[in-house]
């Protein structure tokens, strides 16, 4: 069974440019998460989807970040415009039907903003 | 609020040494507790979990016991291997909730 797939693995952009990350969760996992991981820190939740509905986006900086999960399967996280402080690893995870169960993570997308 | 505190790294051990990585938590409600591991170049993966007080989670020679009285979930392994070199994250999730909160991670280096 394929795991959570993310792309790109690495992205380097100039500040003020847009960037997008894509995630395909494990088949059958209704819940999808985007996490932010700064260097030397643990993942922090940005947004959680149940199917196509964003049910927790309280930590998503909505002035520059947006996300979508059309058709309740794969998802895209966008930053526009990017700032120097956005340099981090963006992790996607999925799980079965929400709740306090196991999260399955992708390998992450490492963003460097110059 | 809910939070997880784990010991700072890096932790450097020789092969076959005993490992302890401390983790304490603060939580409202009744959390489930987890240890995730991140090997170099890979995504986080679940190592073990415990869902109620006094439960012991175990996997790959690692174990951790859910201690409600001390709000702790320390990770232990009796004899580490070079292949255990990774970053270990302690985490909690409130039963019935939808948000997993992670500690800052502890990097482990094991020398041959």
| Mean pLDDT confidence for B66-84 | 97
- Residue range A45-55: mean pLDDT, rounded: 92
Query: How would residue B1 be classed by pLDDT, with cut points 50, 70 and 90?
Result: confident
Q: Is the pLDDT of residue B95 over 70?
A: no
Residue A103 has its nearest CB partner, among B42, B97, B100, at B100
CA-CA distance, A56 to B100, in Å (whole number)? 12
- ∠ CA A2-A6-A7, nearest 5°, is 130
Checking if the pLDDT of A87 tops 80, the result is yes
- Looking at the DSSP bridge assignments, the partners of residue B90 are B35
Q: Which of residues 79-98 of B touch A (CB under 8 A)?
A: 89, 91, 93-98
pLDDT at A99 over 60: no
The nearest alpha carbon in chain B to A39 belongs to B104
- Residue B12: how many CB atoms within 10 A of its CB? 12
Q: How far apart are CA B32 and CA B13, in angstroms?
A: 29
Backbone angles phi, psi at A78, to 5 degrees: -120, 145
pLDDT band at A100 (very low <50, low <70, confident <90, very high): low
Residues of B in contact with A108 (CB under 8 A): 43
Q: Give yes or no for a contact between B55 and B47, defined as CB atoms under 8 angstroms apart.
A: no
Instruction: Give the chain A residue nearest B42 (alpha carbons).
Output: A107
Residue with tokens 């232990």: B76
Distance from CA of B15 to the nearest CA of A (A): 24
Most distant CA pair in chain A, distance: 38
């Amino acid at each position: 069974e394929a795991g959570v797939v993310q792309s790109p693995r690495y992205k380097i952009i100039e500040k003020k440019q847009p960037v997008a990350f894509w995630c395909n969760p494990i088949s059958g996992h209704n819940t999808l998460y985007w996490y932010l991981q700064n260097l030397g820190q643990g993942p922090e939740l940005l947004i959680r989807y149940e199917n196509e509905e964003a049910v927790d986006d309280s930590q998503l900086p909505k002035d520059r970040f947006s996300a979508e999960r059309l058709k309740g399967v794969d998802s895209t996280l966008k930053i526009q415009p990017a700032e120097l402080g956005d340099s981090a690893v963006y992790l996607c995870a999925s799980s079965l039907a929400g709740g306090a169960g196991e999260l399955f993570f992708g390998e992450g997308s490492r963003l460097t903003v110059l | 609020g809910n939070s997880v505190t784990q010991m700072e790294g890096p932790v450097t051990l020789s092969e076959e040494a005993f490992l302890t990585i401390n983790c304490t938590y603060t939580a409202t409600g009744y959390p489930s507790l987890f240890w995730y591991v991140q090997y170099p170049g890979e995504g986080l993966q679940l190592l073990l979990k415990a869902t109620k007080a006094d439960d012991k989670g175990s996997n790959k020679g690692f174990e951790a016991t859910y201690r409600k009285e001390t709000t702790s979930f320390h990770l232990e392994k009796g004899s580490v291997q070079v292949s255990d070199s990774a970053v270990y994250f302690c985490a909690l999730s409130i039963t019935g909730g939808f948000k997993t909160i992670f500690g800052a991670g502890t990097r482990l280096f094991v020398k041959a």
